[in-house]
Amino acid sequence: MAAILDQLHTDALDALARASDAAALEAWRIEFLGSKGRLKAAMGAIKDVPPADKPAFGAKLNTIAKAVEDAFTTRKASLGSAAAAPAGPTVDVTEPGLIETRELGRAHIITRVRDELVDVFARMGFSVAEGPELEDDAHNFVKLNIPPGHPAREPIDNFYIDDPAKVPAPRMLRSQTSTVQVRVMEAAVAAGQGTLQTPIKIISPGRVYRPDTVDATHSFMFHQIEGLCIDRHVSMADLKGTLLHFARAYFGPEAEIRLRPTFFPFTEPSAELDLKIRLRPDQPVRWMELGGCGIVHPNVLRASGIDPDTWTGYAFGFGIERLAMGKYAIPDIRMLYANDLRFLRQL
């Protein structure tokens, strides 16, 4: 009879070693320790043991029962902790990151204003044209009806690359984006094999350079946006309507414009464009000078090969800094180029 107990002991330990998960362990528990299990059965068998052997059998059964139960407890603990351990690396997704804020970059205020202006004019049917910043005086002056000897051509007022006294077509940093008018007209005439075939309607934003002494309103480099529209029967009324529409699209429906007669060599008649805007609700409306405009001078059309009897046009040019400073109440142009983040972040 004692051999049965030894067999039970070995069977129990072998099976326990093979039970490798919670389900197998439970099945093992039911087989050996359950109320109808093998240990219970062995206890029931005690009645068949001869009386003389009963004490020894009982003692051995107790020892084995204890050993098997202890083995189960140990096995369960080790399997249990293995099951509780997570499979992969642990990541607490709720924990705040080390970098809690990320600085986002963005375009400079002048770039943004330029893009806004391009958007407004694009919606009015203008396309964008570009021209070189390193120009020659033919495009900067001659073809814009600014003749030799004109005060605007003084070497002291321009960044010449070549000496204008020695070189026939001296190169220079352009002093105005009006140069792009000439380039666009020349290209259109060349595309039409010597005559203009189709209307022109462009804007051209870009950098210009003048050796001005830097102060709150002047800089040696700034930005202009030029406009040119050439078609049949273009009049001052078209110009004024376009500028008013622009002003209201950009500054809001309250904006008003005013054209004051003035003189530019490349337009006739010419006007100074003022804009009436309210910068902030708590401020009075005021007039702000924006730039120049007018009807393209016949000499300018002719210089690029366009027949002024067939075509007429208007042109305009504004300072982008002045516009941005007006719109965002920036008191000093130098703030735009000081790269002070405390300033730039406010815009």
Interacting stretch for ligand DAH, rule CB under 6 A, among 81-89, 194-202, 241-249, 288-296?
Answer: 288-296
Minimum distance of ligand DAH from residue 108's CB (angstroms): 22
Q: Which of 294, 320, 322, 325 binds ligand DAH (CB under 6 A)?
A: 294
For ligand DAH, the closer of residues 206 and 317 by Cβ is 317
Phi and psi at residue 156, to the nearest 5°: -75, -15
304 near ligand DAH, rule: CB under 6 A: no
Cβ(277)–Cβ(286) below 8 Å: yes
* Strand positions, DSSP E, the chain: 127-128, 134-136, 171-173, 200-209, 221-231, 256-264, 267-277, 286-296, 312-319
Q: Of the candidates 163, 117, 159, 165, which has an alpha carbon nearest to the alpha carbon of residue 316?
A: 117
Coil vs helix vs strand at 118 = helix
Q: Among residue numbers 5 through 24, which ones bind ligand DAH (CB under 6 A)? A: none
- Is residue 205 part of the contact set for ligand DAH (CB under 6 A)? no
Of the candidate spans 72-80, 114-122, 313-321, 339-347, the one that interacts with ligand DAH by CB under 6 A turns out to be 313-321
Element (H, E) at 331: none
Q: Which of residues 220-259 bind ligand DAH (CB under 6 A)?
A: 226
Among 121, 264, 323, 324, indicate the residue that binds ligand DAH (CB under 6 A).
264
| Residue 292 binds to ligand DAH (criterion: CB under 6 A) | yes
**Could you tell me if 8 and 31 are in contact, meaning their C-beta atoms sit under 8 angstroms apart?**
no
Which is nearest to 275 in space by CA: 326, 314, 224?
Answer: 326
Among 291, 312, 325, 326, the residue binding ligand DAH under the rule CB under 6 A is: 291
164 binds ligand DAH (CB under 6 A): no
By three-state DSSP, how is residue 203 classified?
Answer: strand
Determine contact, residues 238/229, Cβ cutoff 8 Å.
Answer: yes
Between 317 and 326, CB nearer to ligand DAH: 317
Footprint on this chain of ligand DAH (rule: CB under 6 A) = 176, 178, 226, 264, 267, 291-294, 315-317
